[in-house]
Structure 1
Amino acid sequence: MHIDEWLQVIPVGWLYATVALVIGLESLGIPLPGEIVLVSAAILSAKGVVSPVWVGVCASAGAIVGDSAGYAIGRKGGRPLFERLGRRFPKHFGPRHVRRAEKYFERFGVWAVFVGRFVALLRILAGPLAGALRMPYWKFAVANVLGGIVWAGGTTTVIFYLGLVAEKWLKGMSWAALAVAVAFGIATTLYLKRRAASALDESDLKGVVRGPVDV
């Protein structure tokens, strides 16, 4: 059963709670499909199954609380925390992943927390890494709240209205035109992902950031 199908069969109240919980745990540093759950819930809101407002609110709350908890854990655990996680979960917390995330923090400072909400790698690492690098909490909190609201609320809003428009278009659209539109969307997504991966590769650090973040 796909995630959207699973969400559709659970009670509405539990669906909102699931959105907040999964996104919160992902933001805490646990590799869960938070973005997929958010998108699936937003699609259901376009179908009238749930309220888009509550999806956005719950997703925003989960993102903000999860990142804040991740910050606290990272601040307490420090760099040794990432070394332990890297040994246990090399696909998500390996040295290369941490170096990439640190490069973002070195280059963008507090903005890495805001931008990190939109990047899969940083969405998991931003909170704990900001704490481990001793980013001032008030700066982290501002970027965290703004990033969580813009990401969760914006994603829900865009998908909700796109879903409404797509439903009208599909009524009068031929299958051929639909296939072309889907193919174009997939090609564009793959191109953007390649460009993003290339940019990350070019910006990898040869070493690891040793000092605290000063922004």
Structure 2
Amino acid sequence: MHVEEWLQAIPPVWICVIVGVVIGLESLGIPLPGEVVLVSAALLSAQHVVDPLWVGVCASAGAIVGDSIGYMIGRKGGQPMFDRLGRRFPKHFGPAHIAKAKTVFDRWGMWAVFFGRFIALLRILAGPLAGALHMPYWRFLVANVLGGITWAGGTTAVIYYLGIVAEKWLKGFSWVGLVVAVLFGIGTTLYIKRRAARVAEPEAPDEADQRSMSVTSSE
């Protein structure tokens, strides 16, 4: 059974609760399909099964609260916690994953928390890693709130309106319009993910070498 079919068998209130809980646990650091659940719930809202406003609110709340709890856990556990997780869950918390995420944080700071919402790896690691690296909480909170609302609310709105438009055009047999809407939605999603991926790209070796040389010469 697909996620959408499974959610459709649940009362609307519980759909919103499940969306918030799954996204919250994922943001806390547990590898769960938060984005899949959110998109499925947004599609159901386009079918008038659940209110899209509450889907967006619960998803945003789950993202913000989950990341905040993850931050506190990371602040307390530090690097030893990631070492233990790496041995237990190498596919999600292996040394390569942690090293890549640290590179992003070192280069982008609070923007890594914001754009991390749009990247599966950073969506899981952003909160705990920000705490382990002792990012000031107020900076983390600003990026966390803005990123959570933008990702959760934006995803819900885009999927909802695409679903509404697709339903109207399907009734009028406007296949051309449907194709245009789908392509627009895909293009928008790819654009956001590409921008987020650029944030996640490690610093170029030449830039790193030049920076290290400048530091050495200044010494």
Aligned equivalent of 1:168: 168
Shift of 1:178: 7.0
Instruction: Tell me the equivalent position of 1:159.
Output: 159
What whole-Å deviation, never above 9, does each CA across 1:12-62 have from its counterpart, x for those lacking one?
111111000000000000000000000000000011000000000000110
Q: CA RMSD in A?
A: 2.9
C-alpha spacing 1:93/1:15, structure 2 compared with 1 (3 Å) = same
Residues 1:94 and 1:56: Cα distance change in structure 2 (over 3 Å): same
1:169 offset after TM fit, Å? 2.3
Question: Across the two proteins, how many residue pairs are aligned to each other?
Answer: 205
CA contact (8 A) 1:26 1:66 kept: yes
Q: Please state how far the C-alpha of 1:183 moved relative to its aligned partner.
A: 9.2
Match of 2:143 in 1: 143
Letter matched to residue 103 of structure 1: T
Which residue is 2:96 aligned to?
96
Which residue does 1:29 correspond to in 2? Answer: 29
User: What TM-score do you get using the length of structure 1 for normalisation?
Assistant: 0.84
* Alignment partners' CA distance in 1, 2:182 and 2:28: 34
| Partner residue in 2 for 1:112 | 112
* CA drift at 1:199: 8.3
Partner in structure 1 of residue 53 of structure 2: 53
Is the CA contact 2:104–2:201 (under 8 Å) kept in the aligned structure 1? Answer: no
Residues 7 and 41 in structure 1, CA contact (< 8 A), matched pair in contact too: yes
TM normalised by structure 2 equals 0.82
Instruction: Note the C-alpha offset of 1:168.
Output: 2.0
Supply the distance in 1 between the matched residues of 2:151 and 2:28 (Cα, whole angstroms).
16
After superposition, the Cα gap between the structure-2 partners of 1:56 and 1:94, relative to the gap in structure 1 and judged at 3 Å, is same
* Mapped partners of 1:134, 1:128: distance in 2: 10
Q: Superposition pairs for residues 7-46 of structure 1, below 5 Å?
A: 7-46=7-46
Q: Which amino acid aligns with 1:101?
A: A
Report the AA paired with residue 71 of structure 2: Y
Partner of 1:30, secondary structure, is coil
Distance 1:155 1:193 in 2: 12
Q: Is residue 103–residue 202 contact of structure 2 (8 Å, CA) maintained in 1?
A: no
Alignment of 1:170-185 (within 5 A): 170-171=170-171, 172-173=173-174
d(CA) in 2 for partners of 1:142 and 1:194? 23
Q: In 1, distance between residues paired with 2:192 and 2:170?
A: 26
**CA–CA separation in structure 2 for the residues paired with 1:139 and 1:199:** 17
* 8 A contact 1:28–1:124 mirrored in 2: yes
Structure 1 residue runs of 4 or more that deviate by more than 4 Å after TM superposition? 176-206
User: 1:64 aligns to what?
Assistant: 64
Match of 2:86 in 1: 86
Deviations 1:115-159 (A, max 9, x none): 111111100000000000000011111111111111111111111
Segments of 5+ residues of structure 1 without an aligned counterpart are 207-215
Larger Rg: 2
Aligned partner of residue 71 in structure 1, secondary structure: helix
